[in-house]
Structure 1
């Protein structure tokens, strides 16, 4: 303890305390301990850097008092501050839970949080001190040839380059190969209770151009879970159909263009262009398509709809964006051009309505798949993009250009004729406002850190924290330099664990409202719509609970 920086411990303690305060998503004890340990380490590093800058500028500094009594007083004050913050931590987390209509949780295993945070801090401190040893060794070698300050600068740069080369060449590549093999094996695995479809109009059947084992795990689940005409008929007295779902997995062909052309031929084979609506789906990184999104529109169209998707990665969305940043856009663009080109050549009075959809990274790549100038003469009918990630250029441009006085978490864009934003409580655009020829809807929750994270939040308060706040954002959340950005980074990891209707878990009932906006369908009565929402939400909750239990 005597070797630790007093400046570092003071700033680190402030970071630890701030890390316990509310953010967007409730945290488990291990996640809170990890976050608090990293914030403690980051604050410690900032304190050490500030002291080093103070010394470098040769500013006056009081002599450090190292008597046993002074040490006890210093560490006692810090321990007391940490103790009070840990006692307050359960209350702060319950503020987040209340914003999501969740019951309070008593206690918070504060000793577990403190233990995990201490372990994380020690590990980070050891790594940092090993880095400093390496930097000093390199600096001493350079001091024989250049002045000491220049040698220290060369030592720092050299240590950074050496660590980066080792991490990239050994650690990162080894981890990448292991992850690739793991995800590829998981994608190829077929659940024992999932048999290939027998209906010839189903992708993966004996008549299909895409083999069952070439769909991938996500593709097989997507095709097999389509609702039947009989299930849809329970909600309406009008005629129903079994919706068509077309999917091409990574094993189906060698290139994105070949998979897109294969999906197009399969879509033609099953009669997708003869349906009332056709949806080009862009999946998430692993090929997953949110059932809440596709089920809702299939029910609204009473099954008279076809959808098509092509897989572009085995990895989860964050890994796919990091490792294969161009694959998603390339695949989404290839599929759009293939389908749009065929659709555009059809007579306007005999072709389906054409829509785009994607969730998260799927929304990101779907928005990049269509060239606006390419569609000026014959645009698609609309797009529904849910949970657009913060890196989405189109979403960011529209949000930044919002009408003055409208909040960032639910903006209004001009007259609402081209694009509208929705959340759990609807859209700020007044009912009856006319649409233009193309309808674009962004479905987003204010508590979704995947949408609202921004690297600049480390140094400035984000606009979505202004008053009024989103209904699912705790009023107890405060902005702290550096700490808030670390909280939001963890919130992105936890967004999929939020209750349905919050975070990154989008509810079927909210999709129903969004699809009604995009499609303009008006042949459902309000009572029928309410019943559909209630049943689809119940089914999705049961499915999420089953997945959580099996996981």
Structure 2
């Protein structure tokens, strides 16, 4: 009985906190672009629940300030009397039952939302164990946050008590306590964020020294890190070794295409192989010269993601298409994941891309017109942003390349953003048309490039882009403005066909959904999210025509591409 009375009294005194907690937790569980793993969904629910509970304290404090400031305008409060024990228990049971009923009803709605999103991206629905996993994750997260908040409250009470015992007035003691709580909160955030970033750096620095399983030092002279190479194997970095030591050989390409093939050229410079981007770029050009890269039919300058990762399906797709008569040149500018690289040095990817492309272009331009390889550029995600930043705009890009393919470009990429904003009237933002597709086209599924029809002049620029990719749509403007990609139902063309109609724009909340969706944007099948494994073959085939592959060969290449291990790219 005492426990029930205590619980009822707590609910009565903290009903504002409870409402805020339920409101924020409910918002956290509204639909987003991609489905979330159940553990992650539970973590978000528990985190937002406890943040909402703390928001209640802030609102109550604001209410007290307003009451003191405008107290004369407020009606007089009647004296309160203690709630009888039985009434308290009854009241507590009613409130508790209401909370449980709401949790069950809203939980069923959340499951239906998630299963709708999962069906749209071709994933299996959540099963029984998934529900339990989400609930346990939410409870564990809530308990952890509750413990942290209680600790901060204890600091506040301790500081207030010490100040009172030393002669401070009650009001001053309260303010001292609040100040101590604020200092404790700030210190906690600084320590957690600092420790987290320090841990990320340490983890990725250690990973950069490792070699991925299946990445052996190449013996052929066409690869960096080989015995003939000036770029030593140990200095290429983890992802550089995966790039130089992986991919199809001439024999693999011949088996898949049924035609003769040569060994592809892959050159790379690691972060330690040069004092800066200019020196590393010079090494890459020397490697291209040594390996015969300027004698190939196609030469690609590729910008990796933050950790130095190059999407293996995209690179291999071009090598299969052109029978290995290709050269791919790249270099590392960081060993940390893209979000860390962008957060602390957003211009680094573009500076590295510019240095490499300019160095390659300078040497390429010296070759006789008839002896030059076709020069292409490529980048995924932060790599797409970095490589696009190497050029002054669309005209500059088309004048200095023979083809460009950019995958999953971030929202602030240029010229992507300008092209999106100046697209042809009536074309959707997730798959726009620009000047009838004469120079630039967008693709989400194989065949989208061709379906547009009309003339597609060369050089060609192609974007691989999905309506459900949070990396492409993460724009601060979403905080206060409804985005075009959520203009209305899918049936009326107000959003992409694989974006749930249940997803609504909520000021501030939708932006936070995009931030969290980025962490799981690769954990979906191809054609959705930030996964482009099913479109890279067709993408390269269209922006670089002339490969001569038959439909049967293209299907065989696509099958081979689907078997490639992408090495868990979410964290790269």
TM range (shorter): 0.7 to 0.9
Identify the match of residue 515 of structure 1 among 535, 540, 557.
540
Seen in structure 2, the aligned counterparts of structure 1 residues 434 and 134 have a Cα distance that, compared at 3 Å, is farther
Identify the match of residue 20 of structure 2 among 11, 30, 49.
11
**Counterpart-to-counterpart distance in 2, 1:255 and 1:482:** 39
Q: Does the residue aligned with 1:399 lie in a helix, a strand or coil?
A: helix
RMSD of aligned alpha carbons: 3.6
Residues 1:500 and 2:531 aligned together? no
The aligned counterpart of 2:34 is 25
* Contact kept? 1:15, 1:39, Cα under 8 Å: yes
User: In the TM superposition, what is the alpha-carbon distance from 1:72 to its structure 2 partner?
Assistant: 3.1
**Counterpart-to-counterpart distance in 1, 2:407 and 2:568:** 21
1:223-276 CA distance string (max 9 Å, x none)? 122312222223546542221000111122222221111111111111111111
* Contact kept? 2:225, 2:236, Cα under 8 Å: yes
Q: Does the residue aligned with 1:495 lie in a helix, a strand or coil?
A: coil
Between stretches 316-325 and 26-35, larger displacement belongs to 316-325
User: In the TM superposition, what is the alpha-carbon distance from 1:135 to its structure 2 partner?
Assistant: 7.9
The aligned counterpart of 2:226 is 205
* Contact kept? 1:357, 1:363, Cα under 8 Å: yes
User: In the TM superposition, what is the alpha-carbon distance from 1:171 to its structure 2 partner?
Assistant: 4.8
Residues 1:40 and 2:49 aligned together? yes
Seen in structure 2, the aligned counterparts of structure 1 residues 490 and 73 have a Cα distance that, compared at 3 Å, is same
Q: Does the residue aligned with 2:404 lie in a helix, a strand or coil?
A: strand
Q: Does the residue aligned with 1:245 lie in a helix, a strand or coil?
A: strand
* Contact kept? 2:155, 2:180, Cα under 8 Å: no
Residues 1:474 and 2:500 aligned together? yes
1:524-550 CA distance string (max 9 Å, x none)? 23333233223422x13xx36x979xx
Identify the match of residue 511 of structure 2 among 478, 485, 501.
485
User: In the TM superposition, what is the alpha-carbon distance from 1:220 to its structure 2 partner?
Assistant: 1.3
Seen in structure 2, the aligned counterparts of structure 1 residues 461 and 78 have a Cα distance that, compared at 3 Å, is farther
Q: Does the residue aligned with 1:473 lie in a helix, a strand or coil?
A: coil
The aligned counterpart of 2:460 is 439
Residues 1:322 and 2:348 aligned together? no
User: In the TM superposition, what is the alpha-carbon distance from 1:477 to its structure 2 partner?
Assistant: 2.8
Seen in structure 2, the aligned counterparts of structure 1 residues 428 and 536 have a Cα distance that, compared at 3 Å, is closer
**Counterpart-to-counterpart distance in 2, 1:392 and 1:161:** 38
Structure-to-structure mapping, 1:347-426, within 5 angstroms: 347-372=368-393, 375=396, 378-424=399-445, 426=447
**Counterpart-to-counterpart distance in 2, 1:280 and 1:161:** 49
Larger gyration radius, structure 1 or structure 2: 2
Residues 1:181 and 2:207 aligned together? no
* Contact kept? 1:416, 1:429, Cα under 8 Å: no
**Counterpart-to-counterpart distance in 2, 1:377 and 1:410:** 21
1:294-315 CA distance string (max 9 Å, x none)? 1111111221110001011111
1:59-88 CA distance string (max 9 Å, x none)? 758889964433332332122101222234
Q: Does the residue aligned with 1:441 lie in a helix, a strand or coil?
A: strand
**Counterpart-to-counterpart distance in 1, 2:400 and 2:439:** 12
**Counterpart-to-counterpart distance in 2, 1:17 and 1:167:** 25
Q: Does the residue aligned with 1:234 lie in a helix, a strand or coil?
A: helix
Seen in structure 2, the aligned counterparts of structure 1 residues 432 and 374 have a Cα distance that, compared at 3 Å, is closer
User: In the TM superposition, what is the alpha-carbon distance from 1:464 to its structure 2 partner?
Assistant: 1.3
**Counterpart-to-counterpart distance in 2, 1:518 and 1:371:** 21
Unmatched runs of 5 consecutive residues or more in structure 2? 1-6
1:377-434 CA distance string (max 9 Å, x none)? 9421221111112342433332233233222221222322232211025437754422
The aligned counterpart of 1:527 is 552
Structure-to-structure mapping, 1:39-438, within 5 angstroms: 39-58=48-67, 67-125=88-146, 127=148, 164=186, 167-168=189-190, 171-190=192-211, 194-236=215-257, 239-372=260-393, 375=396, 378-424=399-445, 426-427=447-448, 430-438=451-459
* Contact kept? 1:278, 1:305, Cα under 8 Å: yes
* Contact kept? 2:262, 2:325, Cα under 8 Å: yes
**Counterpart-to-counterpart distance in 2, 1:422 and 1:377:** 19
User: In the TM superposition, what is the alpha-carbon distance from 1:190 to its structure 2 partner?
Assistant: 3.1
Unmatched runs of 5 consecutive residues or more in structure 1? none
**Counterpart-to-counterpart distance in 1, 2:330 and 2:96:** 59
**Counterpart-to-counterpart distance in 2, 1:445 and 1:377:** 24
